[in-house]
Amino acid sequence: MHWPDLIAEITAVGSSGTAAQPITGIEYDSRRIRLGCVFVAMKGGSTDGNRYINKAIDAGAIGIITDSSHSYDHLVVYKPEVAVAEVEHGRRALAEASAAFFGHPERVLAATGITGTNGKTTTAFLAESLLNAAARETVLIGTIEYHVAGEVRPSLHTTPESRDLFELMADGASRGATELVTEVSSHGLDQGRAYGVPFDVAIFTNLTRDHLDYHQTMEKYFAAKRLLFEGTMYPPPRVAVLNAHDERTPELAGAARIAGAEVRTYGIGIGDFRAASHTLTPGGAVMQIETPAGSAEVRSHLAGEVNILNLLAAFTAAHARGISFDQLVGSVPQLTPVPGRFQPVDGGQPFTVIVDYAHTDDALRNLIALARQLVAKSDGRIITVFGCGGDRDRTKRPKMGYAAGEGSDFVVATSDNPRSEEPRAILNEIEPALKASGVRYSVEPDRTAAIRFALGSAKANDVVLIAGKGHEKEQILADRTIPFDDSEVALAALRDLGYGG
């Protein structure tokens, strides 16, 4: 690809120069520039890429796409052989340039996007599994990991920048993938990271309080989610799959229909695709699924009502992607739990230990309610270990404290990625809500010590919930990041307690 070919595919307001040599890459990070690259200089949330144009040119960039060049005219030293294009929207230009450079993989992969506060990761994994069971090759982009036609790669961002997304898509398409399943975060939607991806199916799981450190208000948070459905910043999906239980769904359904999308709802007892009845079992659930395409009894290995909803969302989306009802029903029993989502830790102990990613008050409440079902027929207690992240929405802290306290029999409040904040200061904002709930509790800033204390306090039939980190493998402190895996820490503690040999 040469510069004129690239310019023909982006929305530019002006351009000058023509780079002679072929383009070797598209980059938005000047540190990744190599000879022959085009550098997309765009304003970001924490920095402005236009400040690094000189660095990109010195590193070998042959073309610059900029959204605010005039702000830095007095600093930039262009070379005659470097072509320049001016654009109004940097991230949109990045997506357009990336789609063109990587051969338009969005025209090969049919995209399913999942947004919502809770359940995105589980729903994405389940949707991919249902597609794979129908012999479709997939690309999965999400919080835990990426999948590229069966190859597992580490996840860098829930929703990567469009350049990286298109590269992953192109890699998958070259390996025979025909489907993209991706979590689409509110940050990613608001910042335009999903520009250029036409979503065939879009799923809305729910909306509860989260990320207000970024969005500031619930209305702005919801507005970011709504972008996936309303056809303003992004094309509307062909099919919108919406949680019938969420109070925001009627508004979202209205916006989606106006934009031209078909709306399908899902739920427990309600919705187009619904669990008309269900029985929770120690190993999952048995449910009677009723849909416009048919009815059947299915057995799932995913525990709790929240996972019934996640399964129904994935089931509805996969059906919208052309998988038959009977094939989906046959695939459900083979579905397995997602890493870090209600993940059991078994060291041979006489009580249950669960690691889960729950890091909002709503998710924590759901997690504890599920644990309560496990101890309903015994004298077991629920012991909950949790914390709140530093440099994040502080209004969540008392809400999570109260959610943990009102549902648990004993709570250990601890650290969960304190980042630049003092762990004790975070815990001081949680503790009043624990007191108000009336629960017995302990405060231990050291997460390892907190997990060990909780496990040492457990008796037969109890359930110990270790919440907040789930699949994460590190703890982010003020001065360093250290390896930290809740399940490994729990297993080590159980061994020290004499379990597991």
- The CATH code of the domain that includes 401 is 3.90.190.20
Q: Are residues 313 and 208 in the same domain?
A: yes
Judge whether 99 lies within some domain.
Answer: no
Q: Are residues 470 and 418 in the same domain?
A: yes
Q: Which residues are annotated as a binding site for meso-2,6-diaminopimelate?
A: 392, 416-419, 468, 472
Q: Are residues 389 and 424 in the same domain?
A: yes
The pLDDT assigned to 330 comes to 97
- The one-character DSSP state at 498 is T
Q: Are residues 386 and 263 in the same domain?
A: no
Judge whether 501 lies within some domain.
Answer: no
Judge whether 100 lies within some domain.
Answer: no
Q: Which residues are annotated as a binding site?
A: 30, 116-122, 158-159, 185, 191, 193, 392, 416-419, 468, 472
The pLDDT assigned to 75 comes to 61
Exposed, middle or buried: residue 198 (CB in 10 Å: 0-12, 13-18, 19+)?
Answer: middle
For tokens 């502080």, the residue is 394
Global pTM value = 0.83
Judge whether 277 lies within some domain.
Answer: yes
3-class DSSP state for residue 250?
A: helix
Name the domain boundary from 334, 356, 389: 334
Judge whether 472 lies within some domain.
Answer: yes
Closest to 456 measured CA to CA, from 387, 385, 375, 376: 385
Q: Are residues 75 and 143 in the same domain?
A: no
The pLDDT assigned to 202 comes to 98
Q: Are residues 125 and 237 in the same domain?
A: yes
Judge whether 229 lies within some domain.
Answer: yes
How far is CA 54 from its chain centroid?
A: 35
Q: Are residues 276 and 351 in the same domain?
A: no
The pLDDT assigned to 219 comes to 87
Domains: count for the chain: 3
Residues 1-36, buried b or exposed e (16+ Cβ, 10 A)? bebeebbeebebeebebebeeebbbbbbebeebeee
**Gap between the Cα atoms of 252 and 255, Å rounded:** 5
- The CATH code of the domain that includes 212 is 3.40.1190.10
3-class DSSP state for residue 341?
A: coil
Q: Are residues 403 and 302 in the same domain?
A: no
The pLDDT assigned to 226 comes to 94
- The CATH code of the domain that includes 21 is 3.40.1390.10
Judge whether 347 lies within some domain.
Answer: yes
Q: Are residues 321 and 415 in the same domain?
A: no
Q: Which residues are annotated as a binding site for ATP?
A: 116-122
Q: Are residues 178 and 61 in the same domain?
A: no
Q: Which domain holds residue 78?
A: 3-94
Q: Are residues 469 and 404 in the same domain?
A: yes
DSSP string for 208-221:
-S--HHHH-SHHHH
The pLDDT assigned to 211 comes to 58
The pLDDT assigned to 213 comes to 63
Name the domain boundary from 334, 355, 384: 334
Show pLDDT as tens, one digit a residue, over the chain (501 residues): 999 999 999 999 888 888 789 999 999 999 999 999 999 999 876 788 998 999 999 999 999 999 986 665 656 677 888 999 999 999 999 999 999 999 999 999 999 999 998 889 999 999 999 999 999 999 999 988 999 999 999 998 878 999 999 999 999 999 999 999 999 988 888 888 899 999 999 999 999 866 556 656 888 989 999 999 999 989 999 999 999 999 999 999 999 999 999 999 999 999 999 999 999 876 789 999 999 999 999 999 998 888 999 999 999 999 999 999 999 999 999 998 888 888 889 899 999 999 999 988 988 998 999 899 888 888 999 999 999 999 998 999 999 999 999 999 999 999 999 999 999 999 999 999 999 999 999 999 999 999 999 999 999 999 999 999 998 999 999 999 999 999 999 999 999 999 975
CA distances from 6 to 192, 193, 420 (A): 20, 19, 42
Q: Are residues 320 and 376 in the same domain?
A: no
Name the domain boundary from 94, 123, 156: 94
